[in-house]
Amino acid sequence: MTSNFDINEIRRQFPILDRTVYGKPLVYFDNAATTQKPLCVIERERDYYLNENCNIHRGIHYLSQEATEAYENARKTVASFLNAKDSNEIIFTRGTTESLNLLATSHGKLLVNEGDKILVSAMEHHSNMVPWQQMIQEKHGELLVIPMDKNGVLDLNAYEELLKQSPKIVSIAHVSNTLATINPIKEMIAMAHKYDIPVIIDGAQSMAHHIIDVQDLDCEFFVFSGHKMYAPMGIGGLYGKMEWLEKMPPYQYGGEMVDKVSFEKTTFNKVPFKFEAGTPNVGAALGLEAAVKFIQSLDRKAVEEYEEHLLNYATEQLSKIEGIRFIGQAPKRSGLVSFLIGDIHPYDLGTLVDKMGVALRTGHHCAEPVMTFFDIPGTVRASFAIYNTTEEIDIFIKAVEKAANMLR
Question: Where does this chain bind other proteins (CB under 8 A)?
Answer: 22, 344-345, 347-348, 351-352, 354-356, 363, 377, 402, 406-407
CB of residue 266 vs other proteins: minimum separation in angstroms?
44
CA dist 184 → 190, 242, 304, 384 (Å): 10, 24, 17, 21
- Gap between the Cα atoms of 299 and 98, Å rounded: 31
**Cβ-Cβ contacts under 8 Å for 180 (sequence gap 6 or more):** 152, 311, 328, 330, 333, 334, 335, 336, 337, 338
Q: How far is the CB of 356 from other proteins (least distance, A)?
A: 8
For 2, other C-beta atoms within 10 Å of its C-beta total 6
Instruction: Tell the smallest beta-carbon distance from residue 352 to other proteins (Å).
Output: 6
Which of 40, 54, 219, 366 is catalytic? The answer is 366
Q: Is 40 a catalytic residue?
A: no
SS3 175: strand
The DSSP letter of residue 18 is: G
The Cα-based distances of 263 to 330, 351, 368 in angstroms read 56, 57, 45
Closest approach, Cβ 344 to other proteins, in A, equals 8
- How far is residue 152 from each of residues 148, 181, 330, measured CA to CA in Å? 6, 7, 6
Taken as a whole, the chain contains a residue count of 408
CB of 232 to other proteins, least distance (A): 22
Residue whose CB is less far from other proteins, 46 or 408: 408
Q: Give 20's strand partners.
A: 25
* Smaller CB separation from other proteins, 309 or 345: 345
For other proteins, the closer CB: 274 or 364: 364
Nearer to other proteins, 117 or 325 (CB): 325
Nearest to 145 by CA among 174, 113, 167: 167
Q: How far apart are CA 312 and CA 170, in angstroms?
A: 31
Catalytic residues: 366
